[in-house]
């Protein structure tokens, strides 16, 4: 796998040093809502893509400010890997993903199965599965399908639900959880 980063080492070094002191304030389940409202000093997202072999480990928010360069990295990482189309990923979805990861107290990165999907990719997936929504939030950069090897689908699902920030779907048979920033709702087994 290759390290995915378009930033220079000096920025990364500074952020890493800053993060070393701030990460100890990671939220617990009871603090999830506060985290999404802006509590905490930093927000970090770590993912791997089995489709592309890329890795992402980025701090995208510091003390109330999103880091545009890091958000661009996340959007590029979460692109439709079949068409290489990129869509800006909604920061609310990114926040839900990061908060859920912190609640799980997991050291491993998420495995990203699906982020943004082009209309062409979504139509192809719909033709193969009844579980793909025609007007999926993936089409507008508001959803992610994720898994963690060290946590069960039920654990990830409960962490996503605890955030109360959008839709959370449990797909136990396929071993992943869907998270989006749409209306608060849950589904799946």
Q: What is the pLDDT of residues 145-173, one digit of tens each?
A: 999 999 999 999 999 999 999 999 999 99
Whole-angstrom distance, CA of residue 119 vs CA of residue 42: 34
| pLDDT tens figures, 7-28 | 443 444 444 434 433 433 333 3
**CA pair distance 15, 186, nearest whole angstrom:** 35
CA torsion angle for 14, 15, 21, 22 (degrees, to 10)? 150
How much is the mean pLDDT over the chain?
83
Domains and CATH numbers, the chain: 2-188 (3.30.1380.10)
Q: Count how many Cα atoms sit within 13 Å of the Cα of residue 14 in the half-sphere of its side chain.
A: 5
The answer to whether residues 136 and 143 touch, using CB atoms and an 8 Å cutoff, is: yes
- How long is the chain? 189
pLDDT digits (tens, 9 = 90+) for 177-189: 999 999 999 999 8
pLDDT, position 38: 43
Which tokens belong to 140?
């507008």
pTM of the full structure? 0.78
Report the pLDDT value the prediction gives residue 9, as an integer from 0 to 100.
38
Q: Is the pLDDT at 47 greater than 50, yes or no?
A: yes
Residues 89-137: pLDDT tens digits? 999 999 999 999 999 999 999 999 999 999 999 888 878 887 777 888 9
In the block, residue with structure tokens 């880091």: 67
Tokens for 63, please give them.
């003390």
pLDDT for 29: 37
Place of tokens 């409202």: 37
Q: Which residue has the higher pLDDT, 69 or 21?
A: 69
SS3 label, residue 98: helix
- Check residue 36 and give its pLDDT: 52
Residue 38 in 3-state DSSP? coil
Contact 26, 105 (CB under 8 A): yes
Token couple for 13: 């070094």
| Residue-level pLDDT at 5 | 44
Strand partners, 80: 85
Is 74 within 8 Å of 92 (Cβ atoms)?
no
Question: How many CB atoms are located within 10 Å of the residue 33 CB?
Answer: 15
């Amino acid at each position: 796998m290759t390290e995915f980063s378009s930033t220079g080492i000096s920025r990364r070094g500074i952020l890493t040093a800053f993060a070393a002191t701030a990460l100890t304030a990671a939220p617990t389940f009871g603090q999830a809502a506060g985290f999404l409202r802006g509590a905490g000093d930093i927000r970090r997202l770590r993912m791997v893509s089995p489709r592309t072999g890329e890795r992402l480990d980025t701090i995208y928010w510091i003390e109330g400010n999103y880091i545009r360069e890091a958000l661009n990295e996340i959007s590029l990482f979460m692109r439709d890997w079949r068409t290489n189309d990129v869509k800006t990923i909604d920061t609310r979805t990114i926040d839900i993903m990061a908060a859920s990861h912190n609640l799980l107290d997991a050291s491993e990165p998420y495995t990203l199965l699906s982020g943004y999907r082009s209309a062409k990719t979504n139509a192809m997936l719909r033709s193969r599965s009844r579980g793909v929504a025609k007007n999926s939030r993936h089409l507008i950069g508001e959803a992610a399908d994720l898994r963690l090897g060290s946590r069960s689908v039920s654990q990830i699902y409960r962490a996503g639900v605890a955030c109360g920030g959008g839709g959370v779907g449990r797909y136990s048979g396929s071993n992943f959880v869907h998270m989006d920033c749409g209306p608060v709702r849950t589904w799946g087994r």
